[in-house]
Amino acid sequence: MLGVKRGALAVGLLCFTLRAWSESPPERPADFVNLGDYAPSVLLDLRYATSNNFVGEVISGYESPRAWLTQKAADALNAAQLRLLPLGYSLKVLDAYRPQRAVLHFVRWARDSEDTTTKSEFYPDLSKAELFAKGYIALESSHSRGSTVDVTLMRRTAEGEWTAVEMGSPYDFFGEVSAAEATGISAEAAAFRSLLRAVMVTNGFEPYAREWWHFTLSDEPYPETYFDFPLSRDPVL
């Protein structure tokens, strides 16, 4: 992608946008569930419904802070949660289903070389162009298929409150330190990454090598479908 001329890239992105929006089913399938209702013990911190993310603004399609997953993925995630709770830990979901329009929002942001507002916090050692080459930004995301989650671990304090554990890098930090098996992180962070990966893999998820937080259900029900229904404000959804 880095070698494509600006005009060709713009045409390609437009064609992809039209194809994705025309092929993506506009409505939420019946087997998608609201994780907040379906697995209420799982903590939620949905960054893309706020400005606390690498783009620095609310992302297209995130009209409400809700986490949707296919029921199959939600069942697997809840099973992982039930293994962690007796140990004093909890999963915290940072992103789940992601509308295709949100993915295209990321692409537009990454192509805007003049917007570097969040560079120091999220990609200090990379240019925006490198985010494509290194696989951090792409035209499609497994999140849009409804069975991928971004998760981290929380630990229960003696007072019964949940606090973050050390994971070695912040969520959505674009750099080698965020790789699932990165070297140079503390022993504590490596242990927590290992615990998270083990419980997720045991319950049917596959990790993504570049991001310690990213997991996709191995036997996902929609492996070729990229949905685009928004996270609506409508309470019925």
211 is catalytic: yes
End-to-end CA separation in angstroms for the chain? 37
Tokens of 48: 């893309």
CB 153 within 8 A of CB 196: yes
Kindly name the residue from 23, 130, 161, 211 that is annotated as catalytic. 211
Return the exposure string of 3-18: e unless at least 16 CB atoms fall within 10 Å of the residue's CB, then b. Answer: eeeeeebeeebeebbe
Give burial (CB, 10 Å; 0-12/13-18/19+) of 237. Answer: middle
- Helix/strand/coil for 220: coil
CB 218 within 8 A of CB 77: no
CA dist 98 and 107 (Å) reads 14
- Helix/strand/coil for 25: coil
CA dist 229 and 124 (Å) reads 33
Point out the residues that are catalytic: 211
